Structure 1
Amino acid sequence: MYFHKKMFKITLCFLFIYFTVARTSNLEHDGSAFIKLQHSLIFDINPVWTERGNISIQSLRLGQAIVNQKPLTLEVQKKLQDLAARNSFYQIKSTVTDNDGSERSFISTVKACMLAESELDDRLSVSLDYMGRIIGVSLIVASKSTCEGAIVPLEKLKTFSTSVYVRHSETGPIPDTATFIQKLEREREAKEKGEGKDNRSFLAKYWMYIVPLLIFMAISSAANPDSTQTQ
């Protein structure tokens, strides 16, 4: 009995800690992050990364971010235009630096023609886990879903117009822990008082097994009358 009471208390403690941490992580955690942006203007198995800019996210919870990107040189504009004309792909590498100094990199790819036809209007989607840690950065061309084959002049490819969208992991419904704990307490008290003991007779408990067995025996006897007479 003492063992069961102890295990019951330990279970309640674990439930309380779990739900408290989950709520705190999802609703109250905040932090900042720095993202270095690099892109590859030649689609290859081993891409060559060059600097594009950086993003400073001051509040992950509120999604407050500052984007810093320099105007593109004429050489970069021509390479982007060439990627779009060849229906090739544009790659971006996002290196995230957390508050603790740790770094992680994410690579995202889009059709270069979509990026060019949108006149470099793109969006970076930053995904967070339930602890507020960045688990993904992806590039999205929101204004284009397909390429129309338009030739974009170089003057339209001067500067990236980038917006940042911070995506929080969805919080599920918070369990009613008070009701659940009360239910466990009632069940425990009922077991201790013996209210949960089954006092039914043997036939009342197992009739669903006995009746099919009797029917099977009756059918078997009717199917083999000779064996009964011989005995």
Structure 2
Amino acid sequence: MCLKFVVIVLISFSTTAFSSNVEYDGWVNINLQHSLTFSDKPVFTDRGNVTIQSLRTGTAVVQQKPLTQSDRVKLRDLSATNEFYQLKSTVTLADGSEISFLSTVKACMLVESELNDILSVSLDYSGRVIAITLAVASTSTCEGAVVPIDKLKEFSTSVFVRHTENGPTPDTATYIQKLEREREAKERGDVKDNRSFLAKYWMYIIPVIILMVITSATNPEGAGAAR
């Protein structure tokens, strides 16, 4: 009875956890700000907004401002000095709360990709944003390519929503049912011991052998006479 109750509880818990992971949905707004001068205390300016209309499907709308001539020069200079481009992403959730994430990439990688970047938004099992990371779409290293400044007009950003993946679920119900069957079989006396004679009685045989060895070692004359 106790085992059956445990099985029911575990099955109910697993069903609830799975449902909460699958059925959630909602939206978030992400305000993007960037720093075009690398320092310990970066100054961030507005870059644009990303609205994820459905967390389940990952549908997103991206609105970003074209870079001014001054911003393009700063970004090119940041690339030339091999510094980092910094992006601050501030998430506004449906309940009005906010949380910010900071991400960086090499400015030269961003420039050489002609501002084609990827924004990855990671969610926990309840649909809450737990991380936002920036990556460059077309290159993973700086190759020293010279990019004309008129190619740095506007960001082309792809947004990917990453859901927390469920790990393998242990088959608890089957295991408990197996224990229940084994317990019932023992109570009925259906379980047979198929072990060998030595496996069954080794704890009795070994002491006898040890005693015989000790007796022979302490009485060598008797052993010689017997021969």
| TM-score, length-scaled by structure 1 | 0.81
Shift of 1:21: 1.9
Residue segments in structure 1 that go unaligned for 5+ positions in a row: none
Q: State the alpha-carbon separation in 2 of the partners of residues 65 and 79 from structure 1.
A: 29
Change (3 A) 1:78 1:222: farther
Q: Residue in 2 aligned with 1:76?
A: 71
Q: Residue in 1 aligned with 2:88?
A: 93
The 3-state SS of whatever aligns with 1:169 is: coil
Q: State the alpha-carbon separation in 2 of the partners of residues 176 and 34 from structure 1.
A: 39
Instruction: Please tell me whether residue 210 in structure 1 is matched to residue 212 in structure 2.
Output: no
Q: State the alpha-carbon separation in 1 of the partners of residues 42 and 110 from structure 2.
A: 18
Alignment of 1:1-231 (within 5 A): 5=1, 7-173=2-168, 179=174, 182-183=177-178, 186=181, 189-190=184-185, 193-195=187-189, 207-225=201-219
Shift of 1:141: 0.5
CA contact under 8 A between 2:79 and 2:108: conserved in structure 1? Answer: yes
Residues 30-67 of structure 1 show CA distances to partners (whole Å, capped at 9, x for unaligned) of 12111111111122222222111111001111110000
Q: State the alpha-carbon separation in 2 of the partners of residues 45 and 70 from structure 1.
A: 25
CA contact under 8 A between 2:122 and 2:130: conserved in structure 1? Answer: yes
Shift of 1:217: 3.7
Q: Please tell me the root mean square deviation across aligned C-alpha atoms, in Å.
A: 3.0
| TM-score, length-scaled by structure 2 | 0.82
The 3-state SS of whatever aligns with 2:111 is: helix
CA contact under 8 A between 1:106 and 1:137: conserved in structure 2? Answer: yes
The 3-state SS of whatever aligns with 1:104 is: strand
CA contact under 8 A between 1:85 and 1:151: conserved in structure 2? Answer: no
